[in-house]
Amino acid sequence: MTEAQEGRRTGILFDLDGTLIDSVYQHVLAWREALEAEGIDIPVWKIHRKIGMSGGLFARALLREVGAPIGHDVAERLQARHHDAFERYRGGVRPLPGAVDLLERLTAYRTPWAVATSGRLATAGPSLALLGVPEGVPIITRDAVARAKPDPDLFLAAADALGLAIEDCVVVGDSVWDLLAARRARALSIGLLSGGYGTDELERAGAFRVYEDPGDLLRHLDEVGIRELE
Amino acid sequence: MTEAQEGRRTGILFDLDGTLIDSVYQHVLAWREALEAEGIDIPVWKIHRKIGMSGGLFARALLREVGAPIGHDVAERLQARHHDAFERYRGGVRPLPGAVDLLERLTAYRTPWAVATSGRLATAGPSLALLGVPEGVPIITRDAVARAKPDPDLFLAAADALGLAIEDCVVVGDSVWDLLAARRARALSIGLLSGGYGTDELERAGAFRVYEDPGDLLRHLDEVGIRELE
């Protein structure tokens, strides 16, 4: 195989929570607890719709909802409170249906793949352990970039870590923020319903295709041009 | 005021969880725990999409997902496990923004209103207490009818309790099951986003109008023909 053929490989850049791991609803309730402890009253569904944004943008989005500024100290405390609350919910967190099989299939196909999450490594680590991610797979967390989703930095860094141009990568995510970040990076994107958003929301945010969960994507890999390397 | 004028009043039939009370995500995780304890593995977002159905139909919908029959004993245990798990989540449950104000406004307007929920009275009772529902307001729970949503029985019983024809009532709900039940009953319906479904899902299920939450409905009561009784 020549270098030129290598260069035409498609890489897959995965979001983590709601895309590979069934953890969105637990994160949502952990944020609800953290916000209420800081006297910020936001209904649960609105938190759900902001999940997956970077912490800074999340704080600014909340500001719009409550009409009051969220200072740096409060933002720091919110992060810590969310982390602590999520630890209490973590016992119920599982891989999404087909997630482990999908990652194994991609590895067997020699399709390059990486994980790019707005979460911090401290929170993401145990979730990655549930998936049995093999060594050598790039894991890009919030700690590694200046701006998280819907900025494209996480996906750009992940493509870079795979040695691929972003135009040769497909982003897989469950939230509109993943899909908006993918569009800003000029990557194609696949939306998964497993984070609890509707098909319409994901398509309107630019999803190239929408599937139920990682298992459903695995059954339709041919539709998105992923096949065994010959 | 004559009897004929009385007869033209519009009644409002409210769903409870996700419509007046911010409890959907807690119910979803409580069902997830109950199902897993029975060895039934269903991702959280799929449970979310079935929430608000009657227990019997919920069990049948789950059957389709897992491809295995859920017997009467298992269904009974699921109900009990869900009830116990939800009690642990209940501490975080709050009224939705504007819910208490909306109900007070309707009472002040002398607009007849009732609550119709697929939940059992034992689970719904504490939520109704959070809202301060005045005496005399009809509360129709799962215990009172043979079939729950998306069958129309709960809303038909609620209209009956108000002494109104169902055609003179507007159903307010957050889930597609509320809206489908309303259509089957030939009532108009209003969808609220506060249960975490998307606008598109609610409109496609037949919502006449969609608002964010009870507070948003309160600000737009004129759009749906509710005004002070002159």
Picking from A48-62, B8-22, B139-153, which range would have the lowest pLDDT averaged per residue?
Answer: A48-62
Q: How far apart are CA B213 and CA A45, in angstroms?
A: 10
Q: Which residues of B touch A41 (CB under 8 A)?
A: 94, 97
Q: Measured between CB atoms, does B67 come within 8 Å of chain A?
A: no
CA atoms of B106 and B127, how far apart (whole Å): 19
CB-CB under 8 Å, A94 with B45: no
Residues A97, B43: C-beta atoms closer than 8 Å: yes
- The least confident of A163-172, A197-206, B33-42, B142-151 is B142-151
A200–B196 CB contact, under 8 Å: no
Per-residue pLDDT, averaged over B50-76, amounts to: 79
Q: Looking at this predicted complex, what is its ipTM?
A: 0.91
- pLDDT-derived band of residue A221, with 50, 70 and 90 as boundaries? very high
Please indicate if any CB of chain B lies within 8 Å of the CB of A88: no
Which of 170-209 (A) contact B at CB < 8 A?
193-201
CB-closest option in B45, B200, B213 to A194: B45
Is residue B153 pLDDT above 50, yes or no?
Answer: yes
Taking one residue from A and the other from B, the number of pairs with CB-CB distance under 8 angstroms is 75
Say if the Cβ atoms of B193 and A45 lie within 8 Å: yes
pLDDT for the residue numbered A2: 46
Asked if the C-beta of B81 comes within 8 angstroms of chain A's C-beta atoms, the answer is no
Pick from B28, B44, B198: which is nearest to A198 by CB? B198
Residue A7, class by beta-carbon neighbours within 10 Å (0-12 exposed, 13-18 middle, 19+ buried)? exposed
| Summary mean pLDDT of chain A | 90
What's chain A's Rg over C-alpha atoms?
17
- pTM beyond 0.95: no
| Residue closest to B217 by CA, chosen among B181, B178, B180, B170 | B170
**Average model confidence (pLDDT) across chain B:** 90
Question: pLDDT category, B8, cuts 50, 70, 90?
Answer: low
Q: Give the tens place of pLDDT for each residue, A102-128.
A: 999 999 999 999 999 988 888 889 999
Distance CA A113, CA A138 (A): 8
Interface residue A104 vs chain B (CB under 8 A): no
